[in-house]
Structure 1
């Protein structure tokens, strides 16, 4: 009988310790999630401010930068950037920057130049 009583006491103690450990674990997870959410929000705000600053720029810079069309998707419409999958991020980035950046001039390479020349058979 005393062994049975000791076993019950031991089981009760283990149950209390397990419950306390579960509470501490849940509290740590809540603190970590709150910190992660705050970090994500700070990063989103910093990115949003950087993009607005880059697009807002000085008068000389903004004259040469093409202005976005009204039907261009806004960054806020796409949802939080940190929740996007890589494929969704690439699609969003290509849609977002499609009409915001002008195509850059790139000179032809020698191979492109030679390939674009008409074939000369010497008869002309």
Structure 2
């Protein structure tokens, strides 16, 4: 008899725990679905704005909008394999300057320490 009562209590406890877990799972899924719906709505709005901008001729709204062509330099008239090392460095520097705008980059700790004066008078 005592084993039967304990078993019923155990089964009732397990049923309550399972029901609580199901409620928590349903709440988590509702929050996840709400977040997914918000993300979908944001993406839809961004796509709608980009498409309307393209249709209106305002290509600046998109990242993939055609960029102005980089400037062609006189050094590019010479085939790259015939360039001297100094010309090659100048060409490579200009090439990336035209295509990748410089971004602000803070100094690294090594650069900062290297730029500091030792103060001992020795050069």
TM range (shorter): 0.3 to 0.5
Structure of higher CA gyration radius = 2
Question: TM-score scaled by structure 1?
Answer: 0.46
